[in-house]
Amino acid sequence: MGEPLDTRAVQAEEVIERLEREYPDPEISLNFSNRFELLVAVVLSAQCTDERVNKVTADLFEKYDGPADFANADVEDIADDIDSITY
């Protein structure tokens, strides 16, 4: 069986406190201007370097203005746009 929830909550709080002490002013190297762009950039960054993601998303975020543009785009077009993101 697992541990009681309050113990997990205490453990989670301790982890957060340690991370805040270790990394008091975290910075992200991905370029984004809103939460949706951050989400897209983070998903892409799992596959390659942040530097490459920033190069690709500069054009991507100009072409697609937001979630609706991505939703309405042809999947093959988006695949071509992110082709240099390697897996």
Share of the chain above pLDDT 70, in %: 93
Q: How far apart are CA 52 and CA 86, in angstroms?
A: 9
How much is the pTM?
A: 0.72
| Segment 10-33, tens digit of pLDDT | 899 989 999 999 999 988 899 999
Q: How far apart are CA 34 and CA 14, in angstroms?
A: 30
Q: Contact at 8 Å (CB) between 53 and 85?
A: yes
Hey, which bits of the chain come out as E strands? none
Architecture of domain 5-81: Orthogonal Bundle (1.10)
Task: Spell out the domain ranges in the chain.
Answer: 5-81
pLDDT, residue 3, reads: 62
Query: For 73, phi and psi rounded to 5 degrees?
Result: -80, 155
**Structural tokens at position 26:** 């975290």
